[in-house]
Amino acid sequence: MGTLNVRTDEAMETALSALVEEYGSRREAVRHALLRAYRAKLIVQAKADAERLANDPDDQAEMLAIQRYMGVAE
């Protein structure tokens, strides 16, 4: 596991203080923020993929097969 050092400015300190109130520590606040940002990036990517798949019948069949495999479609 690595260590990350970050220089903060006033805006980051304000945001960090607000998150620390909710998550209890700077470590947990930063961890939460990074994971949330990463999840948001994955959602944007998934939506773009879904739009692309919606326009290709071959991809739609593959998507349905994957959903069936995952147990989210019948």
Proportion of the chain in helix, strand, coil states, percent, rounded to 5:
75, 0, 25
Cβ pair 8, 16 in contact under 8 A:
yes
pLDDT in tens, the chain (74 residues): 899 999 999 999 999 999 999 999 999 999 999 999 999 999 988 888 778 777 777 777 787 888 888 888 77
Instruction: Please give the model's pTM, rounded to 2 decimal places.
Output: 0.68
CB 53 within 8 A of CB 60: yes
Residue 38, pLDDT score: 95
Contact 16, 28 (CB under 8 A): no
**What pLDDT shows up at residue 52?**
75
Report how far residue 21's alpha carbon sits from residue 16's, in angstroms, rounded to the nearest whole number: 9
